[in-house]
């Protein structure tokens, strides 16, 4: 199944892109996708992911990493934003 990825701020910089699309097996969980993303985008991205919020279709995943993904869903990685 196809999953759309959106990266913001530091996640975008670490991944080297603002968006991507990945293929996952039917019934894949968010946790499995995050593992795939760490491998695909590398250590800098994995570090950002450690402090980021991850949303599925605009909402926090109800079962955390155990949330099952659906065909065509959109996963957004939102790192914390600092300001002053």
Residues 15-64: tens digit of each pLDDT: 999 999 999 999 999 999 999 999 999 999 999 999 999 999 999 999 99
- pLDDT over threshold 80, residue 82: no
In a domain, 62, yes or no: yes
Q: How many structural domains compose the chain?
A: 1
Band of pLDDT at residue 81, cut at 50, 70 and 90: confident
Alpha carbon separation from 8 to 26, 66, 74, 77, 78 (Å, rounded):
26, 23, 13, 6, 6
In a domain, 10, yes or no: yes
Range of the structural domain that residue 38 is part of? 2-78
How many secondary structure helices (H) and strands (E) does the chain include? 3, 4
Backbone angles phi, psi at 39, to 5 degrees: -70, -45
CATH number of 12's domain: 3.10.20.30
In a domain, 70, yes or no: yes
- pLDDT over threshold 80, residue 84: no
Q: Which residues neighbour 8 within 8 Å (Cβ) at sequence distance 6 or greater?
A: 18, 76, 77, 78, 79
In a domain, 49, yes or no: yes
Q: What are the residue ranges of helices labelled H in 2-70?
A: 9-15, 30-41, 43-49
In a domain, 33, yes or no: yes
In a domain, 12, yes or no: yes
């Amino acid at each position: 199944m196809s999953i759309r990825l959106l990266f913001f701020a530091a996640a975008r910089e670490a991944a080297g892109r603002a968006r991507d699309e990945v293929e996952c097996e039917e019934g894949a969980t968010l946790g499995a996708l995050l593992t795939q993303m760490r491998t695909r985008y590398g250590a800098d991205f994995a570090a950002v992911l450690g402090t980021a919020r991850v949303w599925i279709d605009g909402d926090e995943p109800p079962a955390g990493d155990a949330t099952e993904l659906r065909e065509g869903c959109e996963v957004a990685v939102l790192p914390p934003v600092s300001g002053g």
